[in-house]
Chains A and B, each alone.
Chain A
Amino acid sequence: MSFAVHTYGGDERPRMGFFTDTSLCIGCKACEVACKEWNRIPESIQGFTGHSYDNTVDLGANTWRHVAFVEQRKELTPDQGLVEHAALEQLAAQTGLQTYQEGDGLRWLMASDVCKHCSHAACLDVCPTGALFRTEFDTVVVQEDICNGCGYCVSACPFGVLDQREDDGRVWKCTLCYDRLKDDKEPACAQACPTNSIQFGELGDLRERAERRLEQLADAGADKAQLYLADDDDGIGGAHAFFLLLDEPEVYGLPPDPVDATRDLRTTWGAAAAAAAGLGVMLAAAVLGGRR
């Protein structure tokens, strides 16, 4: 089943996206601020969480970029660990790997999360009003003048990205700066990122770049380095916003095998049709069963 709809004809543009290289993130939150400012998003003060430096908590109606902070104790064993450490130190000097702190083995993982702009987007599939649509850049955007706040997309998203805005009732999420893209500008978060952890570009180029970076990190001993959502054959058909992670996805609060529920649509509708038929049989049995 092909989900890609090419209805833009001559107006179709290259597939654009984000490659978020978390090994370069320094946790400055410039992306969060730039996003809020450009998109005029209301404040979302969550209080002091005590979860490292993360007081943003999660993505939602008023948070379209969220920087996660993970603190890990990583043992430095004399044989293997020091070699790895030295290799990573060298890599840090060469390439600006920002994720390791010196000395006591405290490892910092920082990652700027965002709407994935799935190739098979469950939010878009379930939206009953057509408020969610696929743009000419293949990204996924909510039209604020159409959304009636039915909330279906909130439960459909396998990443917990969308949410209803209080005192507004509509659902909001990252637009991948659709307005800026139309003017050939890069999204606000990518422009604000000081370390190039957030890279914006054509999806094909970004994937090639990510591939090289993954090999580089793996060679240097970052054994858990992995590309997340960088391929077309995962449960969401690949994402337009994909990531290079240094640990398993769930460590960052990301699902390891997200699935677009539409993949199971035939099963679901089949079960509903069978149940409807069964209901008919049950009603007939009850009414006609007594007329013997």
Chain B
Amino acid sequence: MTVMSPSLKAEIRDLSFSFGQVQVLKSVTLPISERRVTALIGPSGCGKTTFLRCLNRMHDLHPDARYKGEIILHPDKINILDPAVDPIEVRMRIGMVFQKPNPFPKSIFANVVYGLQIRGIRDRATLDERAVQALQDAALWDEVKDRLHGPATALSGGQQQRLCIARALATNPEMILFDEPTSALDPVATSKIEELMTDLKQKVTIVIVTHNMQQAARVSDFTAFMFLGKLIEFDRTDTIFTNPSSKLTEEYVTGRFG
């Protein structure tokens, strides 16, 4: 259940984004509450994945990306989009889990500790401890504790995705971004990961993009509906799904779009 008035983890103010001449996001403003799940829904091409990738500056990898507006991260109130802010620093505070599970073709252990290693943590005892914690938090520990040094690619799709979640968790990020994390998985694996997210939100703020509305309804506390690069409506999830304010939202949510 949602507790009333949670604190803010991030504020997105007037975010516009374009690839070269093409404007993909138009003046999006919305809050991200701390230790809650915020879902982004909308039809294909509405800009929700683009929005998500602005949060950890992943678009910096493309030379044509142009950000406008601010994303203020609390509690220190820095603007993530400021060119003076190092994107590496942003990514060390905000992790990401991708649509198709992408574990490194190394051992399970090597996968989980990679994030720690590039932060300069080399002590074996610390790495072990953090790896175990991360794998437990990702509900994967019991399944892999006997084969930590076996190949990550030998795991099933659902397990690989949980491994990617463990890998992101190991570095204790403040926020984790999920980009359609279960769209490549079967229903059982999907529901395991949804359960996991409901547990995880007690520790870390979660933002999830999903094209599955029922998933957004099941998992999230707040939902944002986007269309053609604009934010149409943002509200508590139960309100969006029982009594949305905008007619467009109602049409999308009841499946009458198109």
- A and B part of one assembly: no
